[in-house]
Structure 1
Amino acid sequence: MTGTILITGTTSGFGQVMARLFTRNGWKVIGTGRRADRLEKLNEELGDAFCPVVFDIMDEAATRAALSGLPEDFQDIDILVNNAGLALGTALAPDTRLSDWKTMIDTNITGLVTITDLLLPKLIERKGMIVNISSIAANWPYPGGNVYAGTKAFLRQFSLGLRSDLHGKGVRVTSIEPGLCESEFTLVRTGGNRESYDALYGGANAIQPEDIAGTVFWIATQPAHLNINSLEIMPVSQSWTGWQIAREN
């Protein structure tokens, strides 16, 4: 099976590796992102099978314009991978910045539902697929997760809601919920703090972008009568800790 797949956030991490994997296997890939230089470089690497589209997913007008301006041979989109997203900061709620919270909501929720809404008619027409990259944070709270975890919980529930609303239309919807993943994502979250990055991932054998790309490819190539509703993935090194307990003196 091959077709056309649109992957948001292909300038790094999961999205970039997905673009490579799908083009290598005969798919046409539309890759979106804000950083034109990175998309141009990826286009040089992947060739005519890759269509770079530069826009900020938080900008609805730019998103609409980008989709309406797709080349004709990239318009029949079979799969949407909602991969673009971010986490900002690791502080507890009383110490966070409201602007960071709003940026996460605008990116992880508002931008995502906008592009999904715009592509739904085509996905219904082609009996396509939506793959949403959520997180174990959707299910398991942790200190400092606050709004980021909330956005991922929304995404998980949105995926289930889409499944219900698209009943009988042949459209498949999956929520992928990874645990500890090693990528540029964490450097963004910590403001580029390499020391914090190294402390988090040192010796952890964390999930790699190739692991998630391979998972998305597996889901994309399952028979059309099967739907993977949700898939939670952790590295073997990660499991659950005990509950927090605040004790009185």
Structure 2
Amino acid sequence: MTHEHVPGLDLNNGVRIPQLGYGVFQIPPESTQEAVESALEAGYRHIDTAAGYKNEAAVGAAVAASGIAREDLFITTKLRNGDQGRARAAFEDSREALGLEHVDLYLIHWPVPSQGLYLQAWQDLEQIYADGLARAIGVSNFLPEHLDELTQAADVPPAVNQIELHPTFQQRALADASRRHGMAVEAYSPLGQSQDLTTSTVIDIARRHDATPAQVVLAWHLASGNIAIPKTATPERMRENLAAVSLELAPRDMEQINELDAGSRIGADPATAAFSQY
């Protein structure tokens, strides 16, 4: 499996994003460079990090060591919650840590409505975009009410809403609201942090297709039109996950996975989350 086989989606500004990427959430900084180098070697070209993960420098080191042409990579990073009042300076900190002239996607990581700063932060992101330092800008964890407020005030519409999304937590209303606003839906924790891989439905479908449970869930994401960024530190699993792009699920398979939705959130609730990420 090579990166040429990974499907892409066109964002609302025409920028193309690989639909399957590699996420580095909770990978320790000292392990991140090796993990990202392995992911790039396996064929990933879309890498997702964040200032709050504290591993941007290691991602940048892996990119530099890879020798892969910059135009063949798609690098995402995100604004810390505690930096919403200084988004431009925080972006420059991230850009320096990554060692990149530009990023492909820059996101407001959480709305933190209690701060009341995400509209101000978005103005800074719009300037970053206008200056050509981010090829696309978007948000993460924004709920419908946050999207409504932001899109009414924005000059540049967000290109992406990255949200927790997996078979047992599908957030259909939020995904639909995001798409109505012209945003691509990007799934973090796309495997439910492995919890969804143990459901009998996923296991049975995997057996029928001679696939792994992770491949089944990732194929479901791709067929649903989601961008997915699974995380693993194991090179063999990186390759297995990437091979999900070749798995075609039957309509009944899709229906059975859709029926797994149980509202089982794993992460924080964006309505109340207010941590600084420092």
TM category (shorter chain) comes to 0.3 to 0.5
State TM-score, norm by structure 1: 0.36
